[in-house]
Amino acid sequence: METYESLLAAVTAADGGRPVSDPATGEVLGRAPERGTGDLEQAVAAARTAQPDWESLGHEERSRLLNTAADAVDRSAEALAHLISREQGKPLNGPGSRFEAGGVSAWLRATAATPLEPERVLDDESGQATLGYRAAGLVGAIGPWNWPALIATWQFAPALRMGNTVVMKPSEHTPLSVLALAAIVNRVLPEGVLTVLPGGGDLGAAMVAHPAFDKLMFTGSTRTGRAITAASAANLPRLTLELGGNDPGIVLPDADPAAIAEDLFWGAFINTGQTCAALKRLYVHESLHDDVAEALAGVAARMPMGPGTDEASMLGPLTTAGQFRIVDDLVAQAAAAGGRLITGGGPDREAPGNFFPATLVTGPPADAPLVVEEQFGPALPIIAYSDLDEVITHANALDVGLGASVWSGDVERAKQVASRIEAGTIWINKHGTVHPMVPFGGVKGSGYGLEFGAEGLKSVAVPQVIAT
Ligand code: NDP
């Protein structure tokens, strides 16, 4: 049976390589091989060579292989979950690394099963036309460190299903989880179909400027998304950009604080807040503000924070020391500007690991950096409002629009409010839940292009019309 140790040994560099730290202790847990532009040329050539045969296998056979890959992931799920917890920090339990490993296999299976039939778009006396989708060719994928294995799967599974071959670059902070996942999946896939190239941002920059890629998929910061758009312009690859967000949640006066507290909490604090579509600023009607804040503090008090590999942990450390500093600064600025820390704050800066307690800040000014910038960590600002039009203006005021949520006892009323919010997804009485059949993507500075479902398959393909 595969163990954490055997999986780690299979992907650790034989010598040299980039050290990868455990965010709970600061210890080096392994070394990732470091790839450069020569390796990129080799991977591109192998992927180009493998692509026509892979495409000619057809949807049925490729789907069968994706299902077989999912079986392999299931057999190694526990080892993979331990590696994710050690490298990225999220706990094994709750919405943590076992959930992530399970999501990988669920997404592989759902992607294999998603129907995508050619569409008859014209059928009258003037003629007939059918819209179908073909493989784009070579897909380049660049990923982040927060959900390394799951987001890699969101990128490579649909690309492979559609007959593309894939070259991926994981984040320098979490290369081992992605290498391990690829090692498992590649026991099933033909050679050259999926290649992972661990390296830094410079390797990512070389990839996105490379003319061989027909399609680029990127998940990460808005800043890097803009750089990728500029760097790839000369080659015109198709782009899917899943960038940062600053999702608002609006609690209407008829919501039940006790009933929604736990879902609100996980909407904001899943993966210790390091999730693109996490709830990042909470607007609560003034009549419920204190009750919601108190109920959330009650949930926070029940969630133990500790190393991801500790079975008791429900919250883990931040993945990087840099992210710890960002959250620390934002909370300090919010407190200095009059925000009240009703729970959390005060991290132990001398202790090992990047642990920042789950923090709730009530009453920060509307323009506090904790409100208007993406914290990507466990600190939630809670802001009272009295006027619905005004709170919707606040919700729409930022140049990002990934997700949002509305919380109410009246779902129809919540839907009316939702229709006025500028975001790719608006959840009602939940936040951030994604599903392999439901398209997901942002607007404004949160990027463009859809992932998941049939729309996700189309976005890693090229459309083709046959007209008679
Ligand atoms: P980045 O956008 O810098 O990194 C994401 C990926 O892009 C990494 O693999 C990175 O490589 C790579 N990369 C960096 N520079 C380039 C480039 N010029 N061309 C191509 N690829 C490049 O995100 P960070 O990890 O620095 O996180 C910063 C912020 O981004 C966070 O604070 C958070 O706000 C947001 N973020 C959003 C995520 C989301 O899910 N939407 C996920 C992660 C972060 P490498 O890391 O190896 O240098």
Residue 229 is predicted with a pLDDT of 98
Q: Which amino acid is at 448?
A: Y
Q: Which amino acid is at 375?
A: Q
Mutate to test the pocket of ligand 1, among 100, 174, 224 (most ligand atoms within 8 A of CB): 224
How far, in Å, is the centroid of ligand 1 from the Cα of 113? 31
Catalytically annotated residues: 242
Tell me the pLDDT tens digit for each residue of 403-458: 999 999 999 999 999 999 999 999 999 999 999 999 999 999 999 999 999 999 99
Q: Is 236 left (phi over 0), alpha (psi -120 to 50) or beta?
A: left
> Span 2-12, mean pLDDT?
96
The angle formed by the CA atoms of residues 47, 42 and 101, to the nearest 5 degrees, is 55
H runs (alpha helix) in 337-368: none
Residue nearest to atom 8 of ligand 1 (CA): 171
Identify the bridge partners of residue 129 per DSSP, sorted by sequence position: 122, 467
Average pLDDT of the chain is 97
Contacts 24+ apart (CB under 8 A), 5-11: 6/79, 7/76, 7/79, 7/80, 7/83, 7/180, 7/183, 7/184, 8/83, 8/176, 8/180, 10/180, 10/183, 11/176, 11/179, 11/180, 11/183
Q: CB-side exposure of 166: number of CA atoms within 13 Å?
A: 29
> Span 9-25, mean pLDDT?
93
Determine which of 12-21, 109-118, 181-190 has the lowest per-residue pLDDT on average. Answer: 12-21
Cβ of 220 less than 6 Å from ligand 1: yes
- pLDDT over 90 (residue 15): no
Q: Which amino acid is at 295?
A: A
Cβ of 172 less than 6 Å from ligand 1: yes
> Span 217-234, mean pLDDT?
97
- Spell 200-234 as b/e; 16+ CB within 10 A means b: eeebbbbbbebebbbbbbbbbebebbebbbebbee
Instruction: For residue 14, name the pLDDT band (cuts at 50, 70, 90).
Output: confident
Atom index in ligand 1 nearest the CA of residue 225 equals 2
> Span 157-185, mean pLDDT?
98
H runs (alpha helix) in 341-418: 369-372, 388-395, 411-418
- pLDDT over 90 (residue 1): no
> Span 209-215, mean pLDDT?
98
How far, in Å, is the centroid of ligand 1 from the Cα of 224? 6
H runs (alpha helix) in 76-174: 77-88, 97-113, 148-161
Instruction: For residue 347, name the pLDDT band (cuts at 50, 70, 90).
Output: very high
Q: H helices then E strands: how many in the chain?
A: 16, 20
The pTM assigned to this predicted structure is 0.97
Residue 456 is predicted with a pLDDT of 98
> Span 276-298, mean pLDDT?
98
> Span 128-151, mean pLDDT?
98
